[in-house]
Amino acid sequence: MDLFRGSLAHRIFARHLVDGPIAADDFDLVCRQEAGAHLGETMASLSMKPSEFRAVAAEIEQLYDRFKLVPTSGFSGAEVEVGSEPAVGVRLRGRVDAVFADADGTRIVDWKTGSHLEDAGPQLDFYAMAWSLANGSLPVRMEALSVKTGEKLVSAPTEERVAGTEESVAAMIEELRSAMHDRDELRRSAGPHCRWCPLLQDCHEGTSALKILE
């Protein structure tokens, strides 16, 4: 449910950036439109009752009221796909929430619907790497912003940091390939990052870790 709520909130934020403010009277309808168009399979798997959806939409509307206060000057794209193929058989893909063209260069922002930013650093590093590989240049600034609290994590990508991320990703790919070849079980490392995993519902380690963190 948390994954669905977060995904729908991101769709609402993107719609605001692209099409403008959403009227309060239209908010529930817009939530249904976005859920049906982009999250239909997830919504069906949850077997949500109408009352449950209305509750989710009400929570998202509270977040949206906060989101409307976020400055959007220089906005140039929402939910922008970035990807590259740095090696044969390896395809890196990512989707950045928003891209802004500032006076000094490209700024990438990742919206967070919760209050946790402790796991945002590696995610921003990956986006910086993916953007660099796809566009041939680094963004000047990366931001993770909690819409719920206003807390912000800001980083300035460097060539050295991107190179370090590339090494980490290469090591992960090699580990995955080796495990698949030898049919070995991969080591699981649970933490706050588990809340974003699409396999969380079926992972005991991840769900247990998040209960402890909460």
Output the DSSP codes for the chain: -HHHHHHHHHHHHHHHHHH-PPPGGGHHHHHHHHHHHHSHHHHHHHT--HHHHHHHHHHHHHHHHHHTTS--TTEEEEEEEEEEEEETTEEEEEEEEEEEEETTEEEEEEEESSS--TTHHHHHHHHHHHHHHHHSS--SEEEEEETTT--EEEE---HHHHHHHHHHHHHHHHHHHHHHHHTPPPPP--SGGGGG-TTGGG-HHHHHHHHHH-
pLDDT tens column, 46-77: 677 788 889 999 999 999 999 999 999 999 99
Separation of alpha carbons 79 and 92, rounded Å: 16
Average pLDDT, the chain: 87
Per-domain residue ranges for the chain? 2-67, 75-180, 186-213
Separation of alpha carbons 114 and 100, rounded Å: 22
Residue 214: predicted pLDDT? 59
* pLDDT beyond 80 at 3: no
Sign of CA pseudo-dihedral 70, 141, 135, 174? negative
Please indicate whether residue 101 or residue 173 has the higher confidence score (pLDDT). Answer: 101
Please indicate whether residue 207 or residue 22 has the higher confidence score (pLDDT). Answer: 22
Separation of alpha carbons 57 and 8, rounded Å: 9
pLDDT tens column, 97-108: 999 999 999 999
CB atoms within 10 A of CB 119: 15
pTM over 0.85: no
* pLDDT beyond 60 at 16: yes
Share of the chain above pLDDT 90, in %: 51
Residue 13: predicted pLDDT? 97
pLDDT tens column, 79-91: 999 877 777 777 8
Instruction: Tell me which residue has tokens 């800001």.
Output: 154
CB atoms within 10 A of CB 104: 8
Separation of alpha carbons 117 and 190, rounded Å: 16
* pLDDT beyond 60 at 169: yes
Residue 174: predicted pLDDT? 85
* pLDDT beyond 60 at 44: no
Highest mean pLDDT among 36-45, 132-141, 177-186, 201-210: 132-141
Architecture of domain 75-180: Alpha-Beta Complex (3.90)
pLDDT tens column, 144-161: 999 999 999 999 999 999
